[in-house]
Amino acid sequence: MKKLLLILLCLPLLFSTCKKEEIEEVLPCLCESSTNSILIPRVNIEEYKDKNDNRNFADLRNDLEKVEEIESYQVSSIPFLISGKSAFISGNNTICDNDPVPAEVLVSFSESTPPFTFSYSINGSNQPQISTLNNPYVITTKDAGYYSLVSFSDINGPGDINGQAIVTVLNAPIADFHSQSDTLSFLYPSIQLTDVSTGNIINWRWDFGDNTTLDNSQNPHHTYSTTTGVYQVSLIVTDNMGCSDTASKIIWIRDEDWMYIPNAFTPDMDGRNDKFCIAYNGIREATFTFNIFDRFSNLVYSTSNINDLDFENGWNGTHHETGNNLSNGVYSYEMYYQDFEGWHNKKNGKVSIIRDISNLSNDFDCYPQGISNCKFGDMIHPQQGFIYSTQEDINNW
């Protein structure tokens, strides 16, 4: 009758507890339990070693099963083959605590009939019982510790449990970095990035989001092209244990919006500064509105077409309804527009109409020479601005 055996290799120092005959140098021990070990005499285990220094267990087991007489001894042994209905838990996994893929622990079932029912513990803490048809059954986990089986049975009843699994969870680094600003002007699209990650970092990898070469320095300086837009900067750090983490931030390169508005012009038809013109960049032209009021808050000029105030056109100092020339004086303006990023802007200021410098009122005191020496390009009080004598001066302002 076939007997289910747990075949174990006795520790060499314990062979003295086994009864052996002088003609045999090596005897295998068969241990039924920790308190009852049985010896199979007259079987030389050296005959069952293969060239990889492993025993041919199939042949050995066949010979052992043919032995009819066994003697019982108290022998501590090391198992090298398991037979009979049993469940075996195994695995040695190391993961990082931020890994998206969990560790795997396998529970395999031998000489058993499904469904299999088992329970296991983590560091001695029992987990819920599991029933499955899968062999092996895969436990996916991110919990560190020692995994051991607590119980096992198949459809016919309980079986043996063996093995142990280990899951190690490493603390991953935390990636982080600082930037000088999250908004850059297309006129100055350079940025300094500073790594402030925590952990034993040994490798840095920067992706600036503009299809340029990855940078492996710790604190890189990067210059973008003059193309406006939104870029995602990513830093991937790796520590000395092989764990990684990623941090990302958005860098916005915006078109610089600016507008140059002269505070005086001289519509005296002498070919110099005869029209009021503006220079601008980075605004949505369709959102532009410009209004000019006299000292009594009456609207004297208005346009929603920014091209009306370019250097080819410009305002000639006439009333927008009557077409009559407006008199010398200080006029107020309001301007509204959006930049390309959608921000609403409002500007207020003053513009002076000067048709004849020789007849300037005391309101136009030249600074600091006095009215008698007033000329184009001088500061005019109270506006504290410039009168530009040529188109080139306006362009270079």
Q: Are 175 and 235 in contact (CB under 8 A)?
A: yes
Does an H or E element contain 61, and which? helix 57-66
Peptide bond into 128 cis (omega under 30): no
Residue 91 has a pLDDT of: 96
CA–CA separation, 397 and 382 (whole Å): 20
177-254 matches 86-170 in CATH topology: yes
**One digit per residue, pLDDT tens: the chain, 397 residues?**
333 333 333 333 333 333 334 433 333 444 333 333 333 444 444 454 444 444 455 555 555 544 433 333 333 333 334 448 999 999 999 999 999 999 999 999 999 999 999 999 999 999 999 999 999 999 999 999 999 999 999 999 999 999 999 999 999 999 999 998 888 877 788 999 999 999 999 999 999 999 999 999 999 999 998 677 889 999 999 999 999 999 999 998 877 777 788 888 888 787 778 889 988 877 888 899 999 999 899 999 999 999 999 888 999 999 999 999 998 889 999 999 887 767 778 889 999 888 765 554 444 444 444 444 444 444 444 333 444 333 443 344 3
Residue 347 has a pLDDT of: 87
- Among 234, 248, 229, 219, smallest CA distance to 189 is for 229
Annotate 246-278 with b (16+ C-beta within 10 A) or e (fewer).
ebebebebbbebebebbbbbbbbeeeebebbbb
In 3-state terms the chain splits into helix, strand, coil percentages (rounded to 5) of: 10, 45, 45
Query: From the CB of residue 92, how many other CB atoms can be counted at a distance below 10 Å?
Result: 11
Residue 355 has a pLDDT of: 78
- Does domain 86-170 match CATH 2.60.40.10? yes
Residue 338 one-letter amino acid: Q
Rounded (10°) CA dihedral 245, 250, 251, 257? -170
What phi and psi, each to the nearest 5 degrees, are found at residue 111? 50, 45
CA–CA separation, 49 and 176 (whole Å): 57
Residue 206 has a pLDDT of: 97
Residue 182 has a pLDDT of: 87
Residue 6 has a pLDDT of: 36
CA–CA separation, 205 and 218 (whole Å): 8
What phi and psi, each to the nearest 5 degrees, are found at residue 304? -115, 10
- Among 319, 267, 268, smallest CA distance to 293 is for 319
Residue 273 has a pLDDT of: 81
Q: Where are the domains of the chain?
A: 7-81, 86-170, 177-254, 258-395
Residue 21 has a pLDDT of: 40
Residue 8 has a pLDDT of: 35
Strand order of the β-sheet with 283-293 is 264-265, 344-353, 329-339, 283-293, 299-303
- Among 193, 191, 199, smallest CA distance to 237 is for 199
102, two tokens: 């969990």
Class in CATH terms, 258-395: mainly beta
109, two tokens: 């079932």
The architecture in CATH of the region 177-254 reads Sandwich (2.60)
